[in-house]
Copies of this chain bind each other. A is one copy, B any other.
Amino acid sequence: MPLKTKENYLKNMYMIDEEKGVISLSALGKRLRVSIPTVNSMAKRLHNNGFVTYEKYKPLKLTKKGKKEAALIIRRHRIAEMFLVKKMNFGWEEVHDIAEEMEHVESEILFERMNEILGSPAFDPHGSPIPDRNGNIVLDNYPRLSEMQEGDMVKLMALYDDNSEFLKFLNGKKLKLGAQISINKIESFDGSMTVSYKNESEVTLSREVCESLFVKLANEK
């Protein structure tokens, strides 16, 4: 029954590692909303079980075993999100919390069946890659919209976060994955961009928003 706890520790370690390159106890505690001593004792436990290497005062490191375990949880999460969106008519802004619960369901066959029904998609509804059955994951490392130049034409590939407020904001702007975005103007004083796409012209996006959008250059119209 306490599986869920361990899974949440591993998954969050994996994500912190990807994001910051180093897993500090405080970062983990912040994500999991537990105190640092709690993380500390759990880290020792996970060390004893071979999921992480823990040395006093040093950042945590996931072992191979820990990384695989974590990637498989992320796989379940992303398959679930995709299933919810494609087969159950949920909006991309609704699925994160539901998948957060579903990822802990202990049933290999359930997720493999969802995957099959979906046709083994490579990405989840937010453009994040779905790890394979062995926990291997292809990172594509797209640049962010905020790094592009005036006049660039880009394609929206993925989102930095799947926070529901942010997704609702994108819904409001009618911005979807795959959108062809032209950058009309960049305000140098605040980094905001005025862009156009599909049936929308002259939409202004703040720097924060531009930093949360992963894009691919698709210049020459």
Contacts and interface: CB of A to CB of B under 8 A. Distances in A.
A165 to B, nearest CB: 18
A98 B89 contact: no
Interface in A99-128: 101-102, 105-107, 109-110, 113-114, 117
A1 interface: yes
A97 B107 contact: yes
A4 interface: yes
A166 interface: no
Contacts of A106: 101
A88 interface: yes
How many copies of this protein are present in the complex? 2
Interface in A52-101: 84, 87-90, 94, 97-98, 101
The A interface, classified by DSSP as helix, strand, loop or mixed, is: helix
A113 B88 contact: yes
Given A5-B1, A105-B105, A113 B97 contact: no
A87 B105 CA distance: 18
A5 B1 CA distance: 8
Contact of A89 (B101, B102, B113): B113
A8 to B, nearest CB: 9
A94 B88 CA distance: 21
Interface of A: 1-2, 4-5, 84, 87-90, 94, 97-98, 101-102, 105-107, 109-110, 113-114, 117
